[in-house]
A and B are shown apart, each in its own frame.
Chain A
Amino acid sequence: DAGVIQSPRHEVTEMGQEVTLRCKPISGHNSLFWYRQTMMRGLELLIYFNNNVPIDDSGMPEDRFSAKMPNASFSTLKIQPSEPRDSAVYFCASSFTGSGQPQHFGDGTRLSIL
C-alpha cells in the first residue's frame, strides 16, 4: 500500500521566493498533519486538518506560512516570502480519526533557503 507521499523531496531556493510543499495522504485517512523538524526545535506540529478543515493552526510560525487541503487526497504548505530561518525538514502525516489511531509519516521535504 502507498504511504504518505510528499513532494518535492528536496528544495533549494533563494530568500524571498515562494515555496510550495505538497502532500498526498494515505487513501481513506481523514486527518492530516504538517510538522517541521530542525536541530534546534526538534519535531513540531504546524497545522492539523480533519475532514479537509483546518482545526488547529497554532503551530504555524507566522503569516508567511499557509496551508490548504482542497480535497481528501491533497494538501499544500506554502511559504511566501521564504527566509533562511525556514530551512528545515517538513513532514506530512495522516491518520484515521478515532481513538488511538496512529499517524503515519511521509519521508519529508528537505528545504534549504539561501
Chain B
Amino acid sequence: DAKTTQPTSMDCAEGRAANLPCNHSTISGNEYVYWYRQIHSQGPQYIIHGLKNNETNEMASLIITEDRKSSTLILPHATLRDTAVYYCIVRVAQAGGTSYGKLTFGQGTILTVHP
C-alpha cells in the first residue's frame, strides 16, 4: 500500500473549517484514500473514503486532486469535539489474497480545535 504523509499537528478555531492535507504521491490506480480519526480513549472512527471523485457525507468532505497524489479532508464547521488524531490511509480496493484491504496507520495529524 502507498505511504502517506501528514502534518504532525494543526490548530483550528471553533466554527471554522478545518482542512487537513495528506500526500500520497505513490498511490496506485486501485487504491482508495480513507480517513479515520481517533478521539482519546476511543477506537478509530471511520470518516470518509474515496477513489477518484470528491466525496461528501454528514461528517466531512474529501477532496482528491486530479492526479490523486494528494487529498484534503474538510470538516466544514469544526467543534471542540472534533479534537482528535486524524489518519489518512491508502488502501487497495480489491478484496482477496494478501491485498485484502489491510489498513496501515501512520502517526496521523493531531487536530486541536480551540474556542
List chain A positions with a Cβ less than 8 A from chain B: 4, 31, 33, 42-45, 48, 50, 55-56, 91, 93, 95, 97-108
State the B residues within 8 Å of A (CB): 32, 34, 42-46, 49, 51, 93-95, 98, 100-107
- Asked if B43 and A105 make an inter-chain contact with CB atoms under 8 angstroms apart, the answer reads yes
Contact partner, A97, options B93, B95, B103, B107, Cβ 8 Å: B95
Question: Which chain B residues lie closer than 8 Å to A31 at the CB level?
Answer: 95, 100-101
Give A45 to B44 CA distance when docked, in angstroms.
13
Check B103 against A103 for contact (C-beta < 8 Å).
yes
Chain B positions within 8 Å of A56 at CB level: 98, 100, 102
Cβ-neighbour of B100 out of A44, A50, A107 (below 8 A)? A50
Query: How many angstroms between the C-alpha atoms of A93 and B91 in the bound complex?
Result: 16
- Report how far A103 CA is from B51 CA in the complex, Å: 16
Q: How far is the CA of A102 from the CA of B36 in the complex (A)?
A: 10
- The minimal Cβ–Cβ distance linking A99 to chain B, given in whole angstroms, is 5
Question: What A residues does B104 contact at CB under 8 A?
Answer: 45
Q: CA of A108 to CA of B44 in the docked complex: distance in angstroms?
A: 10
If A99-B93, A102-B34, A104-B46 touch, does A45 touch B98 (CB 8 Å cutoff)?
A: no
Using Cβ atoms and an 8 Å threshold, which residues of chain B touch A48? 100, 102
**A91 — which chain B residues lie within 8 A by C-beta?**
43-44
Q: Is the CB of A43 within 8 A of B44?
A: yes
Which one, A33, A42, A107, contacts B107 given CB within 8 A?
A: A42
Q: A100-B49, A106-B43 are in contact. List 15 more A-B contacts (CB 8 A).
A: A4-B43, A43-B44, A93-B43, A93-B44, A97-B100, A98-B95, A99-B94, A101-B95, A102-B46, A102-B49, A103-B101, A103-B103, A104-B46, A105-B45, A108-B42
Residues from chain B with Cβ under 8 Å of A102 in the complex:
34, 46, 49
The reply to whether A45 and B102 form a contact with Cβ atoms under 8 Å apart is yes
Q: How far is the CB of B55 from chain A (nearest CB, A)?
A: 11
Question: What are 24 inter-chain pairs, A to B, with CB distance below 8 A?
Answer: A4-B43, A31-B100, A42-B105, A43-B44, A44-B105, A45-B104, A48-B102, A56-B102, A93-B44, A97-B95, A98-B95, A100-B49, A100-B93, A101-B95, A101-B101, A102-B46, A102-B49, A103-B46, A103-B101, A103-B103, A104-B46, A105-B43, A107-B43, A108-B42
